[in-house]
Structure 1
């Protein structure tokens, strides 16, 4: 957002995140593998949820989350 004050903590987090991503040429799969390896090496226990099912490709919603092609709330 233009003309928004810059928070130094946010700037630092973004710089660290960008530097980490740059180490892996911004390859999301490689970044994820590295983060997973760091978690495994830490010895800490992390919560892992089962994968959620993927919605079918014909499921479409408008910008308000309503199913596309459906009636608007309150309409008849």
Structure 2
């Protein structure tokens, strides 16, 4: 696999950023939310997608 310097730089930054929050996803998300509020920019947040119900398929075999 060829190493891409841009990808390597992004991975390094991501690891350093996660380490600042002890690799705790909740802390990382909380910090990002605080940063969004401080920026006073408008952010779009999409809610969870509604689950689509799946109907079971029933097959009935008739006695021959």
Bigger RCO of structures 1 and 2 (CA < 8 A, at least 6 apart): 2
Unaligned segments of structure 2, at least 5 residues: 53-64
TM-score normalized by structure 2?
0.69
Q: CA RMSD in A?
A: 2.0
Count of residues in correspondence between the two structures: 54
1:11 aligns with 2:8: yes
Unaligned segments of structure 1, at least 5 residues: 56-76
Greater fraction helix = 2
What residue is the counterpart of 1:42 in the other structure?
39
Question: Distance in 2 between the 1:53 and 1:31 partners?
Answer: 26
Shift >3 Å, 4+ stretches: 52-55
TM-score normalized by structure 1?
0.59
